[in-house]
Chains A and B, each alone.
Chain A
Amino acid sequence: KNQVEQSPQSLIILEGKNCTLQCNYTVSPFSNLRWYKQDTGRGPVSLTIMTFSENTKSNGRYTATLDADTKQSSLHITASQLSDSASYICVVSFFTNAGKSTFGDGTTLTVKP
């Protein structure tokens, strides 16, 4: 069964600190991996997308890395802000249509002043 596991389930950090979220997957064959940010009560918003041939992708203070050999990805957030408080979801796809995507349960990040 294809799975996507994220860790930690929740995380609390102080404003200005860095943090790293993890995503391990068993999806095969692998097409692409995406990270989404979901604010409470809102729809998820895409942060990064990487194909199997890419190993890093940045979007402002967000940097995603991918190791296709170990099937691990991480999302690093630099100099956290209060607005980073959200759920971060890792999504792995077989192919490019939505129905073949496997979603992680997300990591809830809380940034405190």
Chain B
Amino acid sequence: KAGVTQTPRYLIKTRGQQVTLSCSPISGHRSVSWYQQTPGQGLQFLFEYFSETQRNKGNFPGRFSGRQFSNSRSEMNVSTLELGDSALYLCASSFEGGNTIYFGEGSWLTVV
């Protein structure tokens, strides 16, 4: 059974640009959540999607957005990138009502 897949694994963007990250959850998982992790910092919750609807949202500005498709795949978008957006972005999936969330390997974003 394939795990959570995130693409791209690494990317470099310039300030002011926008970026889209993709996440394919484990087959059968309907919940997808996104997290930001900056070097030396803990995981910060961005948002969670379930059945194409945003169910929970963290305290991030509106530049951070996401969506979920009918096949449960999810994308997150960051517009008008800032240097402080440089981080590891992690996606996680779980069953409906599942207790364990499974993380992908993350997408390393560097903003220069």
Contacts and interface: CB of A to CB of B under 8 A. Distances in A.
A82 interface: no
A100 B45 CA distance: 10
Chain A interface size, under 10 / 10 to 19 / 20 to 34 / 35 or more: 20 to 34
A33 B15 CA distance: 38
A73 interface: no
Query: Which of A89, A98, A105 lies at the interface centre, i.e. has the most chain B CB atoms within 10 A of its CB?
Result: A98
A101 B103 CA distance: 14
27 contacts: A34-B99, A36-B103, A41-B106, A42-B105, A42-B106, A43-B103, A43-B105, A43-B106, A44-B103, A46-B100, A49-B99, A93-B99, A97-B31, A97-B94, A97-B97, A98-B31, A98-B33, A98-B48, A98-B56, A98-B92, A99-B33, A99-B55, A99-B57, A101-B101, A103-B42, A103-B45, A106-B42
Nearest to A43: B103
Please indicate which of the listed interface residues B43, B45, B88, B104 has the most CB atoms of chain A within 10 Å of its own CB: B43
Give the interface size bracket for B toward A: 20 to 34
Most buried by A among B31, B100, B102: B100
Contacts, number: 66
B94 A98 contact: yes
The main secondary structure of chain B at its interface with chain A is strand
Interface of A: 31-32, 34, 36, 41-46, 49, 51, 89, 93, 96-101, 103-106
A96 B48 contact: no
A87 to B, nearest CB: 9
Given A43-B90, A98-B31, 7 more contacts: A41-B108, A43-B103, A44-B90, A46-B100, A51-B99, A98-B92, A99-B33
